[in-house]
Every structure is written in structure tokens, then in C-alpha cells.
Amino acid sequence: MNKVAWFIFLALAAFSCLDQPDCFRLDNSEYGIKFRVIGYGSSSDTLASIVIDGTGIVYAADTVPVTNAIALPLSPARQELSYTFTWKNGKVDRLHLGYKAQIQFVSQECGQRYVFTDLTVLETTFDSTHVFNAKPVQPVDVNIEIFRCAKPDHIGVNFKKLLTQIGTTTTTRDSLAPIKAVTAFFRGPNGLVPQSVYLPNDTLKEVFLPLSADHDTARYEFDFGSVKKNLVMIYRRELKTSLIQSCGRYTVFAGLKVGKTVDWDSTIVKTKILKTVTNDPAILNLEVNL
Amino acid sequence: MKSIYNIALLVALALPAFGQKKAEKDTVTVKPSFVPTGVRIGTDVIALAKTSYDKTFNGWEMNADVDFNRYYFAVDVGSWGRKYAADSANYSNTGRYFRVGADVNFLKKDPDKNMFFLGLRYGNATFSENMSVIRHDQQWGNLSGSYENNNIRAHWLELTTGLRVKMWKMIWMGYTARFKFGLGTSSTPVMLPHDVPGYGRTDKTSYWGFNYQIFVRIPVRKSPAVPAEK
């Protein structure tokens, strides 16, 4: 028995020597934000920049939509930070965040670390927020979910090039359309009201067009440079009540179909409906063969 | 999972004691006596040795137990301080602690009352610590500062196992392996405690401790005769 006891003693002594902390990823100084649309899921809005107020820190966001979580830093010297989010569509949102920052000595080799806990949204202009996990972790995971009210008011148009057509069977492929401008026309009290559609580029394989909650039809004029083409969409408007009271009611556009214009020659006729209901974020509802 | 592993290791440590052969049935029944036969007082040699060779540690620990048949009431009292100088931070702490609990001896038939035991302790410490940091962060600027926690209280639990062996007359030696868990400390808003005297680093939910001890046993009465094994 004595041999066993000594063996265990030496094993424990050796075990205790392996007890040094790992100096890698000691701080949990970044937290994750996930943007969501109430009632729909992940948002795909595109950020232009994020500014941490009063610090001079500016993140020029890339053009990738915020489909995945984004990570933002926390200051060890403060207990609260304000962030300004500027979106590509010009909208500005603010988030005032409170948290607890504590310092802790780790070891002679690693020095100190900062421990962040108790994330709280003190104030925000976002429609709704939810602290999913009040303690940031490494690697960064979602801590705060930010919700915006649903606005499924765009249809997605996908440009295709016709390759073959045998009977009713067609083969197509994605095509880049050289679009100079797209103008949407909605009927207002004083006639048709033109509304310019935001285009991120001048050669696109897809474009997202606004719909009007006040009308059953919309006409879109595509300026391809050498020629202008029209697309008429007919739809049904359905009022839905949001899960969050402050969002009120919103319109879903259903029964999407392509209509006819008076000027038949300038009408886009080779189309295929993919989805008859709009979504937020917008999805591709229609294929157009150029 | 690690806690389960640690508890399993502690149980494994005690297994040899369970392997003792049971005495054959005897016709004589001896009524167990729960009157103490002696007090054992000792010190942790590892703490004393560390104090002399480890410049970052300064501490001592006294251990005592008293027997009630095969059960022992145990008390540990100690003090330790640590001092570290890292590249960007200097840290030091100092404090006192005590542990109280009980051990159960599994060597029932040993005439010298040698022990192979399992036990439980409640630990409590009061300590202070301070840290000075020199750091310039590229993103947040100067983060240098001095921090201190004064008279923090901490408490924890321990599962213990070990040996106590009579070496010569009143001199005993032994070791105690401690599986420490359930640490709680009083609130420290700015600086989280790093090291609790008697427990160890606070960033771990469980912790192993080890004492190698020398005791003096002061008998207070003659031990009752142990029935001879056949």
C-alpha cells in the first residue's frame, strides 16, 4: 500500500506542475451582435460604418450584409459605451451599452486580464433589443440580438439569359444586366409618382424593387442605356400584426404576378414568378429573361 | 466532467484502504469508545519549504486533529502571501485562513492508529491584495492604474484524503491531498481576486492542493486495545 501511496503522491506533485494558465485569449473584450428582423430571422441590411462615440474609433464596414454576427470591442477603462450605426440606406441607429469591466491578475507569465460581464442595453434607437448572453466569451459569440420591425416591401428580380428553349422547357443562366437606372411609378393623388430605385452598381444580376402599401400595382422602368423596358407588378396587400407591439402592423405583398402595359413593345414579357410573397430580407421573386 | 474525474481520483486514492481483509468473526464484542485518546498538532512542510525557496510565496500552515474512535475532528490554520512581478503588472496578496472538518480513518484495526482517511473540510479566508498595472493599449490609450481589494472574505469546500503514519514515539508524518471546490468570494467591483490563501487561483472552479505534514501527537489517555486479528 505504501508504494501505491508514494506513487499517487508523486503523480499529484507532477500534476500540480502542469497547472499553469494558458496566456492565449485571456480577455473577453469583444461581444457579438446579431441583427434580426422581427418575425423573419436574420437581417441582411448592409452597414456603412460603426462609430464608438467619444473615442475616435470608426469602423468602416465592408459591403457584406450583416447576415452573420459582428464583433465589437469593449473598453476596460469605461463602464459604458455608445455606438452609432450608419446603414447603407442612410438610416442611423444608436446603441448605448452598459457593462462591468474588472481587472484580474492571471500569472507572472500572462500578466493581467480584463473580464467583462453584465452587458446591458441602456438606451437605443433600434426597434427592439435582447441581451442573449450578458457575458462575452472567447471566441466571440452572440451576446445581443438587435431586432428591427419587418418591412417586406421589396421584390427581388433576377436577370437571366435564355440559353435553349425546347417546347415549354427553357434553360437559362444568371446574366449581368447593364442598368443605368430604375424608376418605380406609383399612383398618387396627383398622378403617377416616380421614385428612383437605389442601385449598388451599374451591372447587376439582380435588383430589389420597392412596392407600395397604398396601391395594388407598380410599374418599373428599366433604363438599359440603349433601350428602356417596363415591368408591371400586380399584387395583393395583406396586413399583419407584428410580434412586438411598438412595430404595429405591416404589409405583406402576396399573389405577385406580372401585368401588362399599354406600350406592349417596351414591356418585359419573358418572366417567371419564383415566389408570390415578399419577405424581409427581400428574396428573388421574379426571373426576367433578357 | 473534470470535477467527476477529480472525485473519482480521490475515491481511487482511498481504494487500498477498502481492500483490507475483514477480521474473522470474533466471539468477543468490544464496544467502541468515542473518548479522544490524543491530540495531533503539526505543520505543512511544503509551505515552509516553498517559503524558503520560492520568492513569490510566503506562508505557513498548522494542522491539528483529535480522534473520536475512527473519526477525527480536524482544524487547519494558515497564512500565505504571494508576490508576482509580471511584465505589465505587479501583484501581491496576503491573508489568513482556516479549515474545519472531519476525517474518517479506514485503517480500523491498526494498533498504532495509523490513518488512511477520507474527509471533508469547510475553508474560510480573509485576505487583501493589490495590483499595479502599466499598460498602453493601441485602441483605448492609457490603461495604467493601481487596484486593491481589502479584507475580502472567501469560503470553499474540500474533499480530502491522505495518510498519517506514526514514525517514532510522538512523531507522525503524513500527507493530505485536497480537492477544493465551491469557491465563493465577497464582491469586488473593480478587481477580481487572483489568489485566495488556503485555496489558490480563483479562475478555476476546482483546484488540487497538497500538504506534506509532520505532527506531534500528545496522548491524553491510553488507546483502547484493538481486537487481535485471527
User: pLDDT tens digits for A142-181?
Assistant: 999 999 999 999 999 998 887 787 877 878 888 888 888 9
Q: Which amino acid is at B151?
A: N
B56, B86, B177: residue with CB nearest A12: B177
Helix spans in B45-121 (H): 45-53
Mutate to test the interface with A, among B116, B139, B180 (most CBs of A within 10 A): B139
A15, A100, A105: best mutation site toward chain B, by most B Cβ within 10 Å? A105
CB atoms A103 and B208 under 8 Å: no
**CA separation for the pair B191, B128 (Å, rounded):** 11
- Which sign, positive or negative, has the C-alpha torsion A163, A165, A171, A174? positive
3-class DSSP assignment, residue B26: coil
State chain A's mean pLDDT as an integer: 85
Do A75 and A136 fall into the same domain? yes
Q: Smallest CA–CA separation between A9 and chain B, in Å?
A: 8
Confidence category of residue A188, pLDDT binned at 50, 70, 90: low
CB within 8 Å of chain A, chain B residues 54-93: 56, 84-89, 91
Residue B86 to residue A8, Cβ atoms within 8 A? no
A45: domain CATH number? 2.60.40
**Predicted local distance difference test score (pLDDT) of residue B181:** 96
Which is it for strands A142-148 and A30-37: parallel, antiparallel or unpaired?
A: parallel
Q: Confidence class of residue A269 from pLDDT cuts 50, 70 and 90?
A: low
- When pLDDT is cut at 50, 70 and 90, the band that residue A246 belongs to is confident
Q: What is the ipTM of this complex?
A: 0.81
Q: Does residue A276 share a domain with residue A209? A: yes
Residue A56, sorted as left (phi over 0), alpha (psi -120 to 50) or beta, turns out to be left
Last residue of a domain, one of A129, A148, A167: A148
B139 closest CB neighbour out of A5, A57, A108: A57
Distance of CA B166 to the CA centre of its chain: 20
User: In this model, does residue A14 exceed pLDDT 60?
Assistant: no
CA atoms within 13 Å, Cβ hemisphere of A226? 2
Region label for B179, one of left (φ > 0), alpha (ψ between -120 and 50) or beta (otherwise): beta
Asked whether residue A92 is assigned to any structural domain, the reply reads yes
Question: From the centroid of its chain, how far is CA B112?
Answer: 23
- Kindly give, in sequence order, each residue whose CB lies less than 8 Å from that of residue A12, ignoring residues fewer than 6 positions away: B177, B208, B210
Domain that holds residue A51: 22-148
Under 8 Å between Cβ of A198 and A151: no
**Domain shared by A29 and A128, yes or no:** yes
Q: What pLDDT shows up at residue B75?
A: 97
Query: Are A42 and A128 within one domain?
Result: yes
- AA letter at B150: N
Domain C-terminal end among A123, A148, A173: A148
Q: Can you tell me the mean pLDDT for A216-220?
A: 88
Same-domain check for residues A143 and A270: no
Alpha-carbon distance of B81 to B96, in angstroms, equals 9
Q: Whole-angstrom Cα distance, residue A161 to residue A173? A: 5
Which one of 2.60.120, 2.60.40, 1.25.40, 2.40.160 gives the CATH number of domain B2-11+39-219? Answer: 2.40.160
Contact A54/B at CB under 8 A? no
Q: Are A30 and A142 within one domain?
A: yes
- Chain B segment 108-167 residues within 8 A of A by beta carbon are 116, 129, 131, 133, 135, 137, 139-141, 143, 147, 163
Phi, psi at B4, each rounded to 5°: -60, -40
Cis omega (within 30 of 0) for bond into A200: no
